[in-house]
Structure 1
Amino acid sequence: MTTNEPAAALHRAAEDALLAPSILNTQPWHWRVEGANLDLYADPARQLHAADPHWGLMVVSCGAALHHARVSLRAGGYEPVVHRRPDPHQPWLLARIQAGRACPPSPASLRTYQSLRLRHTDRRAFATDVRVPAAVIAGLRSAAEAEHAHLYQLAPQAVEYLRYAAQGARTAGARDKVHTAELRDWTSRGADDGVPPETVAKPAARPVPTRDFGLGSEAALDPGPGDDRAAEYLVVATAGDDPTDWLHAGEATSAVWLAATVEGLAISPMSDVIEVPGARTLLRSLLHPTAQPQLVLRAGVAGDADPPPQSPRRPASEAIDVT
């Protein structure tokens, strides 16, 4: 994909960024194309007040959209110039992007751009006996480090503790009526956002339980033939825990996910163990003492060759302003 004019490349980047993953598919971003600038705003109207009261996961989601936009610009023939949090008086303005020097897209950047449209969340159980090669994990780790984040691969004994964290998060969420109502709202939104039941796998035995989004028997996606025994659990973490760190964590999440897609892997995020403070504290104990976990990614080889249904997306007219 190539684009001749910088303004057209910026608008295309905003459109492509709408495909980014986000917590509960809230798509909590708003883009403004103004002259030579593409501005990324967090949309506070889409914050999850029960699950994400400090809006960290909202900014992580916006960081993923920021990385998607950068990928689009490179594929369009421009080096992206990014100013993160450019105005301290506008806390919701997270980044300003400009089209830098023109440069022919590399084969690697075009592959990454192609993966942007192939990427999806797969909540089905992954193949039983097909492990992710160590060299691929190393490549995913490098992708995260290029975005000022770290990617930790949990060892088998640490996965057991992740299981405890996931179970605790499920119990805590079920007891919180406000949290339960919020989940119900975002699993019955309609056509443009949220988590439809057809994208949530039915309950199945796994080493680490996955979120059922409060749907229970209403989950409509067949869990598939796998059992997740060969799944890898990867933790995106940062050295700090402020809005800039959250933004970097989102960019790293996108970079890892797109790199995994290029390698033919399937991914699903686990945000529940971040949302519940006790679960996050347990998760933090499995990492370097100074590391701040921002998201867990379950990675593996899809047990079913057919992809699951895609999550819905808001129309560009709702999320992009052109002035």
Structure 2
Amino acid sequence: MTTSDDAHHRAPAAAYAAAAEAAGRAPSIHNTQPWHWQVHPDRLDLFADTSRGLPGTDPDQRMLLVSCGAALHHAQVALHAQGYEVAVRPLPDPAHPEHLATLAVDGTTPVTADAVRLVQAIQLRHTDRRPNVDVPVTGEQLEELRRVAGAVGVELHRLTADQATELAVAVSHAEDAAAGEPSWQAETARWTGPDRAEGTGLPPEVIPDKRPETDVGERFFGSHGTLEVGGGHDKASTYVVLFGAEDDRAAWLRAGQALSAVWLHATLQGLAVLPYSQVIEIDATRAMMRRILSNLGYAYVVLRLGVADPDHPLPGHTPRLSFDETTTVDPAS
């Protein structure tokens, strides 16, 4: 196991590079990986890469910021597991909105077993679109996830049965809207079809071979994949929403950090996570989510939590861009 003394003697620039590499495993909408890192001797800078954005699906860049926020948190986790305390400055330069955050080492810290397990969860985390088995999420598990979301300033609310029914209606409206919008269809095809850029997008093996039987419908990607859904209906799944009082770029970035924190801890709990971002991508369904929350805040992303079938592990993971494609290293580093 790495010790804090080992980390203290490692050049910070090497730790920053390792963190940027780990952040490449973060979840992102359609696996677009819309981030770019700059490694310097004294800091790690995160930028939005809008060339991998979704102007039709995500014109306000909400989900782009959430995706980048998840990568930001992954980098924080990686640095912490190397024995470093980290200071984060979000949106440090208003004149350059694509500059999303600066991370800088702010001291050393003992490397705990929990820190190591959390960074290991980065490699284990994945999206499973198949129905979950009939094992409920416990109150203790939800309380831990609520705590880790709250640690970065985001609320986690478990939807009641009635609210889950309202969510199902909102998802249905979002899917109907997407089906009738050519720009959304074209973007979906770009990131899920055979012409998707190498290292990005969703390959057929992670897309269900038929529509799963679920209380809340899932995103339809225009065609079926090769992931065998099997039988079953995820009646034991729990739906939660990450939300907050603000609805701006800083809030969306923070929501991504919370998404990463919740997902990594859920992975360690043995839970499967499926995000529902389509209800956030459309003005009408975003308003529906605000009403579901009794106007107490703005929804950032909805998550389905449950236990995946242990006898049928996911056959593959989504591809990833190489380190050189997402990171620039300052020659002085």
Which TM-score applies when normalising by structure 2? 0.94
Report the Cα distance in structure 2 between the residues aligned to 1:258 and 1:269, rounded to whole angstroms: 13
- Do residues 210 (structure 1) and 218 (structure 2) align? yes
Q: How does 1:1-323 map to 2 (within 5 A)?
A: 2=2, 3=7, 4-127=10-133, 129-188=134-193, 189-201=196-208, 202-215=210-223, 218-305=224-311, 306-323=313-330
Helix, strand or coil for the counterpart of 2:72? Answer: helix
Report the Cα distance in structure 1 between the residues aligned to 2:65 and 2:213, rounded to whole angstroms: 32
Structure 2 unaligned segments of length 5 or more: list them.
none
Residues paired across the two proteins, number: 320
Query: Are 2:126 and 2:317, in contact at CA under 8 Å, matched by a contact in 1?
Result: yes
Range with greater deviation from structure 2 (3-12 or 159-168): 3-12
Query: Are 1:224 and 1:303, in contact at CA under 8 Å, matched by a contact in 2?
Result: no
Structure 1 unaligned segments of length 5 or more: list them.
none
Query: Are 2:191 and 2:201, in contact at CA under 8 Å, matched by a contact in 1?
Result: yes
Range with greater deviation from structure 2 (139-148 or 272-281): 272-281
RMSD (Å) for aligned C-alpha atoms? 1.2
Query: Are 2:65 and 2:249, in contact at CA under 8 Å, matched by a contact in 1?
Result: yes
Report the Cα distance in structure 2 between the residues aligned to 1:122 and 1:246, rounded to whole angstroms: 24
Helix, strand or coil for the counterpart of 2:279? Answer: helix
Amino acid at match of 2:207: V
Amino acid at match of 2:230: G
Query: Are 2:131 and 2:213, in contact at CA under 8 Å, matched by a contact in 1?
Result: no
Report the Cα distance in structure 2 between the residues aligned to 1:140 and 1:224, rounded to whole angstroms: 29
Relative distance call for 1:264 and 1:118 in structure 2 (3 A) is same
Give the CA deviation at 1:104: 1.5
Report the Cα distance in structure 1 between the residues aligned to 2:33 and 2:274, rounded to whole angstroms: 16
Query: Are 1:122 and 1:308, in contact at CA under 8 Å, matched by a contact in 2?
Result: no
Helix, strand or coil for the counterpart of 1:273? Answer: coil
Amino acid at match of 1:203: R
Query: Are 2:58 and 2:64, in contact at CA under 8 Å, matched by a contact in 1?
Result: yes
Report the Cα distance in structure 2 between the residues aligned to 1:232 and 1:147, rounded to whole angstroms: 22
Report the Cα distance in structure 2 between the residues aligned to 1:148 and 1:308, rounded to whole angstroms: 35
Give the CA deviation at 1:304: 4.2
Report the Cα distance in structure 2 between the residues aligned to 1:182 and 1:38, rounded to whole angstroms: 31
Relative distance call for 1:308 and 1:282 in structure 2 (3 A) is farther
Amino acid at match of 1:238: G
Q: Percent same amino acid among aligned pairs? A: 43
Amino acid at match of 2:322: P
Which TM-score applies when normalising by structure 1? 0.96
Report the Cα distance in structure 2 between the residues aligned to 1:248 and 1:119, rounded to whole angstroms: 20
Report the Cα distance in structure 2 between the residues aligned to 1:231 and 1:284, rounded to whole angstroms: 22
Amino acid at match of 2:182: K
Deviating beyond 3 angstroms after TM superposition, the runs of 4 or more aligned structure 1 residues are: none
Q: Deviations over 1:71-103 (max 9, x none)?
A: 000000101111111111110000000112111
Give the CA deviation at 1:107: 1.6
